Structures are given as structure tokens and as C-alpha cells.
Amino acid sequence: MENQPDIAAYDNDVAKWQEQISSAVKRSLCEGHYEAFYDFHHGIEDLSHGLACAIPRIRSQMAVFFPPPPLKVSKVNWVQFSYWSRYGNGDGVEEECSTWGEYGWQCIKQCPECRAASINHPPAE
């Protein structure tokens, strides 16, 4: 029974990462491209499990690439994430998401709706 809190904390961490990354991607792409993002939907759970065990530096980097609301995954985020995963900077977690950066970047480049969805607007004063 003494491992129960650790398991619960781990499960909560996995759910937190899955929600943060999923919501960031969803609010940063048009509905059609979000739904068609097979590699993302197929790999988000495994990535979230990897992040629950990752070192703080990796977790911090992922929080920048896939920011909390109201921020979005911008073109710069997708490009930087693409290079980050391509060059193996994620201590193993990037294996689950190696195609995501290129997909997001191409969607923003080719789709006006994705381009508009990915723009971070300054907060209203």
C-alpha cells in the first residue's frame, strides 16, 4: 500500500502532460489538421508517460514547446521542436514525437486556418 501515493502522483503527472500538450496542439491547429494528426494522437500517451519520468530540463523544454493556455504552439515553437527532436535532445522522449514538429510547421505554412490559430495574441489590458 505504501506505493499508492507514488502511483497516483505518476498517473496525475501523465494526465497533466497529456492535457497540456493536447490542448496546446488543439488550440494551435485548425480542426481538420488536428483530427488528421495521426502521429500525435497515436503517440501522446506514450510521450506523457515518458515526461512523467523525465528529468526537469526536458519537462521544462516541453512546457515551452507546448505552453499552457492561453498561449499557442507557434511556428517558431514547431520549428524549434522539430530540431530538438531531430537531434535527440530529449533524452529519449523525442522518439515518441519525432514527426510532430514537421507536421505542425507544414500545417501553419500551408493552411491559412492553422496559421491564424497558431498566432499568440497579446493579452488585453
Q: Summarize pLDDT for 13-72 with one digit per residue, the tens.
A: 999 999 999 999 999 999 999 999 999 999 999 999 999 988 899 999 999 999 999 999
Q: Quick check: 66 and 90 in contact, CB under 8 A?
A: no
Kindly state the average pLDDT of the residues 66-80: 94
Q: How many CB atoms lie within 10 A of CB 116?
A: 10
Q: Is the pLDDT reported for residue 2 higher than 70?
A: no
The ranges assigned to domains in the chain are 4-117
Q: Is the pLDDT reported for residue 102 higher than 70?
A: yes
